[in-house]
Amino acid sequence: MQHSQKKASSKFIFFTIFIDMLGIGLMIPVFPDVIRRFSSDPKFVNEYFGYFISIYALMQFLASPVLGSLSDKFGRRPILLVSLLCAGLDYILMAFANTLPLLFIGRVISGLTGASQTVATSYMSDVSDDSNRSANFGMIGAAFGLGFILGPAIGGLLGHISPKAPFVAAAIMNLANFAFGFFVLPESLPVSKRRDITLSKLNPFKSVFKILTESKFMVLIWIHALIYLSGSVHPANWTLYTEFKFGWTSAQVGASLAFVGICVAFVQGYLTRKLIPRMGERNAVKFGLSMYLICLALYAFASQPWMMYAITSVFALSGLAGPSLQSLISKQVPMDFQGELQGSLTAITSLAAVISPILYSNLFNHYTTGAVYFPGAAYAMASLISGVALTLFVLNERKRT
């Protein structure tokens, strides 16, 4: 693939992930109203809202190694395009679902097709080299951040028109991206680099267990898992924490999350390209993990609302760790294993997304209603987890030298 094709393809992957995150963000403001189609009981709405969040992450966990391995066998392009097509059709299904089971089925399919991030990341690795790998993975982070900024805002506006409107908009974007990719996206994995797959490689539990226990670079994989587990404290705890401690309204919470997204997009989309080549990937991982450790602890003890914004502006620098670490990991395996690798990594992050709401919400509940009062307990735990990740990385570096 020529340089110009690689550059164009990396931009397509950026927009693919951006649209995927935008579609998820579009749903956030209207999902409670969608569930209220079937019951107005607040307990019912809150309970099923949690189920919809968890089932999406669980389906991503189950599907990620499957799609990754299939892309190693059949190429990235067909798997990616099928996922985009199915995602578009699924959003239409959810828009017009007239029963709760049908809506639930739609959410299951969303999680399965959302695992296309695995294939998109593998594609990005295929078209990258040592000179731009970290920057390209930073583009993926920027796509997440931008989707996180615009999705809820657009979803809220469209939701005023109709609860169905955000689903229809997400369907149109995914189908348009499918059509664009169908005509212009080249394959990134040559036939000579493809490999056969076995049923055992499609088992997400086995694939995650294997990469966490048997790979030569399993320490880096554990660090990757701990980064995402600690970082998942934001979606699991931010709203609960800020509403409880500072009395923020939903509008204030939304504005603060938009600020988080802006900071993430700036660091991932711009600073990673500037700082990582100067710092080196290994130093960037250490620096980013240090920011995780310090800033998550600061969140736990923040006493004024403005502090959340100030801490966030610094915490965004922790985003240097993820792309640098992912680049280090991707260098450990050849091209024809990238799909399986990225599938396992996505499965790990999805598993963190399943675990984190349970862990952090229970900590928040315990330390706001129990004998010991500490609303920031979840952030303190996340800081501790990132501290373990930093320690592992430093010890691994010493062992390596």
The residue extents of the domains of the chain are 3-185+204-400
**Cβ–Cβ under 8 Å, residues 218 and 207:** no
| Mean per-residue pLDDT of the chain | 81
Q: What is the pLDDT of residue 165?
A: 86
Q: Looking at per-residue confidence, does 155 or 115 come out higher?
A: 155
Q: Which span out of 86-100, 189-203, 299-313 was modeled with the highest average pLDDT?
A: 299-313
Predicted confidence band of residue 302 (pLDDT cuts 50, 70, 90):
very high
CATH of domain 3-185+204-400: 1.20.1250.20
Picking from 220, 260, 250, 265, the residue whose alpha carbon sits closest to that of residue 400 is: 220
Mean pLDDT of 334-362: 74
Q: Does the pLDDT value for residue 159 go beyond 80?
A: no
**Cβ–Cβ under 8 Å, residues 159 and 31:** no
CA atoms within 13 A on the CB side of 39: 10
Q: What is the pLDDT of residue 117?
A: 74
**Cβ–Cβ under 8 Å, residues 265 and 362:** no
Predicted confidence band of residue 3 (pLDDT cuts 50, 70, 90):
low
SS (H, E, C) 111-150: HHHHCHHHHHHHHHHHCCCCCCHHHHHHHHHHHHHHHHHH
pLDDT tens digit sequence for 25-52: 777 666 667 777 888 776 676 567 667 7
Least confident of 6-15, 168-177, 201-210, 323-332: 201-210
Residue located via tokens 């920011």? 291
Mean pLDDT of 183-205: 76
Quick one: tokens of 289? 């993990």
Q: What is the DSSP letter of 195?
A: -
